[in-house]
Structure 1
């Protein structure tokens, strides 16, 4: 089972088994939440337009499938008036709150083209809404053609907010609407910004309704926060919240938010997919993507049930697949899905791997060990008790990464050996002095590209008497000798996985462990008396010299992105949560309710449906009959709005 990894937010691919893919943008086509904003803002109202609806009467708007949750355009007005023509065959809905300046009797007047209705509630509750004025087509700002244009007297209280709706339907020709009022101390005038507030789930001035448990946690959270900031705790309840956005004023001030602006409750300054409100209740920082600095963004931890204030949970293994939440995040896999695990990776450490042999030309392999550097002087002794003091050979292998920043630079490789030496870069010899000799120094230079690892192989033999083997690498221009600890790396012998540098079917770890060169083709070579090649020994789990069974790491993957690997009877789908809506506004993870997957064997009739809860980014569908299957995905938010289905992806079940 193969899958394309997610590449990260904004550039991610949504993958299914078999490496077919959904584009990330497909599930971002979630409608904007114009229908139910989260917080109310003073001084304006939202205007929602619904296009391609014929007829002159408001009832045509109310009967439309897109009404009220899916407007075609959302804009703003700072007064209840639009004087210019917009289009033909559309409807308008404005919902908001009116706040009268004085307590007393008010009269409302409506003008419009075509039908225009004004509805008012006696409170902030939409349930108490009644129509108080209406008109058919009249000239702009004409309020006296029909008696219905003037409302009965409404007694309103200063400082109290009243829910209202303006419903307008345009058929053809001119179109406009105006709502005016008169009241204590002023004559008829258009209702302006000083009296308006946008419609929202939380009405302006409404105190949040909390359960006793929520109230307790809120009080504890605020007291703890004030203590952290060395502030005097204010025991007033509800807590200080000037703009009534549910955020404690002191908290907003400390984190650079505006306690007089309710709109910032939905902001996501640190781009961790948590709104300011989410961060407040989670006790995380709205200006730090990763509050506990454990490598996991706050929104990621929130989505998967981790604690964004506890760095220890980054090491937790939620699905028992042997990989931590941090490893799964870095790999783009689902930390709650056992079947979606990170691909194994090679593990590198500083230094070389040394392969030790008896004989002067790699006769009998004895063992492999990890050496921090090549800097040995054994005198007349032996490197170890399992090797003779004379007539032995060693092959050291590692990767040198040029430390300069850009372009090409020349490096000098210097060996000092007693006796023979060969030095190879990427398999090509640059020093070849394979002979008996007293301690002798040789040098060669190579021009190397910045940051590009080069395979370094040093082969050495000792014939008799003294034994010395040294390798230094230096910057040719400066003469600086470079420390192997920072420039040379080796594949760790305890790694669980390795690729093949030569792509010859034999992985590098097998070669290092059992005395084979990395950069020389040996797959068809034979190092035993039974005629078994290296490749045959590797595939059979045998030592290439002794043919004894060995335990090997996972073989390199044979499939690559774009290839199809079939599975029988099931398919695994994975995706990345969207970060924005179609209008470019952000969507936090807490706003996602679920994902809907439709599938079937006819791409035009996907009759099978499953729902996947929020916080999940993959699912496996089983019991699929053999044949070609098609899949689409939609996002459902907590307001019930859904994205358009993604483009179908397909997979063959055998």
Structure 2
């Protein structure tokens, strides 16, 4: 009978000679294969107990509805003897294989309470078993009460395995069973571990029957394996397989398995959900979870019809949803279901997002930019050409991750501003000095758990005269200042998605881009003259202040240039990549080849060009002479097409 065997996530077709069945019993009552081990193991037998069956006779167990499909308990024994009382009204079934130590004549002895029977086959086949000894209740290990306790003489060959069954039924009072034998060089003794093998779906020592084509393929594969690994090839057929587990001995030795242990065929040493037998047929390494090094475990590739020895298939898109198999694996989605694909992930960059306003109380939003640190001294000037020298305000937002790795630790947050300042940690106001003042330092300490991000919001206004603002975070115990680029990050302004930190129905990306606080409730507030709330504007795709449409344009959105504390004559430009083309069709980040920045000292004359590669949203230009400079940027796609230039932005070099 041909049987298909499911191993791990792979399918291996194995042909078994003859159908296994129970003598005197309908084949429909075979035990479910799921309850029978795949491979026989030496040194033990499995014991099946069937509880709640009255009577003293084995036949009452056989007639029970639960027999043999539904044992109540399965345990192991390393000898054919159980001396301790277990219970009343139950039956016992042991199946396995005997392997005699020497060739010759053997006699078997049985004792038990209550009825106990020993059945033996002249081969490994369960179909040929016959009863060779039996007894009703006897004292423990007493083999002489009845003549039926002693078998006839059986000629057995060393190295061969013989199928046997022990059937036992207990009614009440004492319960036990023992099987002993005698033979060449053996005095009467209990049959124990060295001569026992557990029953399994695949009998020990058998070789699968292969078709001619399969045999040729196996031969070529084994010859190639031996040649590739520099091993001595043995051309005998069937291939060398001492323990009969279906694994070529040279293969087992090379990969550190035991060619005398049939149980290791079911091992999964690399945790890729493929057994060693699966790995043998899949031509993968049983000690490497990812044989081809493409980032996807062998078992996952095998399950979804990929080749675990081919690293190029990780980039395939099996369901046409725009995501590769590797992306789907990492996201935990189904690579064969186009409706199940990875959710876009928010991207973060070091530093803060700064929102710049005119007015001392965030009156009119001007622009947003990324600031790697809050450390500015504008003197009597302004943050940019589009900002006034006086009467402006800024809100910086980011996430501080405490760098210690365990427990809690105290950190000091020190602001120094001219003029007013407010500092929030996770939305809680910890510094509140919203007033006109010369440059003044204020501090607040917080005991924070390890590696858990804390929202940091610093609000600042400048009224007149000098303007400066800084925030320093330090370890309170050591006094060491922390580099904000290492411990602070903010949502990237060109991220394709984000969550809502406040769960108010408005995502963080919209708030950062259009001048709104992340952790202050603003959904019902109005920042325009038409009475449109922030939530309404967001839902309609409008700017909350101007009510202009904020769908992505075909050219990059540029932020105002910033010197970021750099030396005179240099400027940093940042921008947001487009998500649509001129005709309104979408453009993915993978379709962008790079950017071209034109700049010069007149809005109509920008002859200087800087090329910037894709994946970059910031560029630094140095060596600028004093005076006004103008900048535009264009997108170049992978087909060489160029967008229209963005609107010019201006920066004054002092």
TM-score strictly above 0.5: yes
Cα displacement (A) at 1:117: 2.8
User: Match for residue 536 of structure 1?
Assistant: 536
User: 1:423-472 deviations in whole A, cap 9, x for unaligned?
Assistant: 544452626465487xx463534334143433333445567898765544
Offset at residue 543 of structure 1 (A): 1.9
Structure with larger Rg: 2
Partner of 2:259: 259
Structural mapping, 1:6-405, within 5 Å: 35-138=35-138, 148-184=148-184, 190-211=190-211, 215=215, 231-232=231-232, 235=235, 237-253=237-253, 255-287=255-287, 297-308=297-308, 319=319, 334-337=334-337, 345-359=345-359, 361-375=361-375, 393-405=393-405
Match of 1:511 in 2: 511
Shift in CA distance, 465/213, structure 1 to aligned 2, threshold 3 Å: farther
Structure 2 counterpart of 1:14: none
CA shift in 2, pair 1:448/1:318, >3 Å: farther
Task: Give the Cα–Cα distance (whole angstroms) in 2 for the partners of residues 384 and 210 of structure 1.
Answer: 79
Is 1:449 the equivalent of 2:467?
A: no
Of the structure 1 ranges 96-105 and 426-435, higher mean CA displacement relative to structure 2 is found in 426-435
Contact 2:33 2:201 in 1 (8 A): no
The C-alpha deviation readout for 1:525-567, integer Å capped at 9, x for no partner, is 2211111222332233332112234459xxxxxxxxxxxxxxx
Are the aligned partners of 1:315 and 1:324 in contact in 2 as well (CA < 8 Å)?
Answer: yes
Q: Is the 8 A contact 1:423 1:431 kept in 2?
A: yes
Residue in 2 that maps onto 1:407: 408
**Could you tell me the TM-score, scaled by structure 2's length?**
0.67
* Deviations, residues 373-419 of structure 1 (Å, cap 9, x unaligned): 345567887756655677654432212222233323232434466x7
Distance in 2 between residues matched to 1:363 and 1:100, nearest whole Å: 95
Equivalent residue, structure 2, for 1:487:
487
Per the TM alignment, residue 487 of structure 1 is displaced from its structure 2 partner at its CA by: 0.9
Q: 1:429 to 1:524 in 2, by over 3 A?
A: farther
Distance 1:334 1:513 in 2: 34
Cα distance, 1:362–1:79 mapped onto 2, change above 3 Å: closer
Shift of 1:52: 1.4
The answer to whether the 8 Å contact 1:422/1:434 transfers is no
Deviations, residues 343-380 of structure 1 (Å, cap 9, x unaligned): 66543322222223445553432332333334556788
Q: 1:147 to 1:302 in 2, by over 3 A?
A: same
In the aligned structure 2, how far is the partner of 1:193 from the partner of 1:139?
24
Can you give the 5+ residue segments of structure 2 that lack an aligned partner in the other structure? 1-30, 553-654
Residue 6 of structure 2: aligned partner: none
> How far, CA to CA, are the matches of 2:423 and 2:85 in structure 1?
82
Aligned partners of 2:111, 2:426: CA distance in 1, in Å?
83
Contact conserved, 1:82 with 1:176, CA < 8 A, in 2?
yes
Contact kept? 2:436, 2:463, Cα under 8 Å: no
Q: CA separation of 1:363/1:65 partners in 2, compared to 1, >3 Å: closer, same or farther?
A: same
**Structure 1 unaligned residues grouped into runs of 5+:** 1-30, 553-654
Q: Is the 8 A contact 2:381 2:389 kept in 1?
A: yes
1:436–1:463 contact (8 Å) kept in structure 2: no
Segment of structure 1 superposing worse, 515-524 or 357-366: 357-366
d(CA) in 1 for partners of 2:312, 2:534? 45
Q: In 2 relative to 1, CA 137–483 (structure 1 residues): closer, same or farther, beyond 3 Å?
A: same
Query: How do residues 586-601 of structure 1 correspond to structure 2 at under 5 angstroms?
Result: none
Q: Distance in 2 between matches of 1:425 and 1:112?
A: 77
Report the Cα offset of residue 135 of structure 1.
Answer: 3.9
Other-structure match for 2:640: none
Please say if residues 411 and 473 of structure 2, whose CA atoms lie closer than 8 Å, have aligned partners that are also in contact.
no
1:526 corresponds to: 526
CA deviation string 1:544-593 (max 9, x = no partner) = 112234459xxxxxxxxxxxxxxxxxxxxxxxxxxxxxxxxxxxxxxxxx
Shift of 1:313: 5.5
Q: Secondary structure at the match of 1:64?
A: coil
8 Å contact kept, 2:119–2:133: yes
Q: Cα gap change, 1:466/1:191 in structure 2, threshold over 3 Å: closer, same or farther?
A: closer
Q: What is the RMSD computed on CA atoms of the aligned residues?
A: 4.1
How many residues are aligned here? 519
Partner SS for 2:243: coil
Conservation of the 8 A alpha-carbon contact between 1:45 and 1:199: yes
Q: Which structure would you say has the larger RCO, counting Cα contacts within 8 Å and 6 or more residues apart?
A: 1
Distance 1:286 1:303 in 2: 16
Q: Is the 8 A contact 2:252 2:259 kept in 1?
A: yes
Contact kept? 1:35, 1:68, Cα under 8 Å? no
Assess, with a 3 A threshold, how the Cα gap between structure 1 residues 491 and 193 changes in structure 2: closer, same or farther: closer
**CA offset digits 1:631-652 (Å, max 9, x no partner):** xxxxxxxxxxxxxxxxxxxxxx
Once the 2 structures are TM-superposed, how far is the Cα of residue 192 of structure 1 from its aligned partner?
4.3
- Paired residue secondary structure (1:520): coil
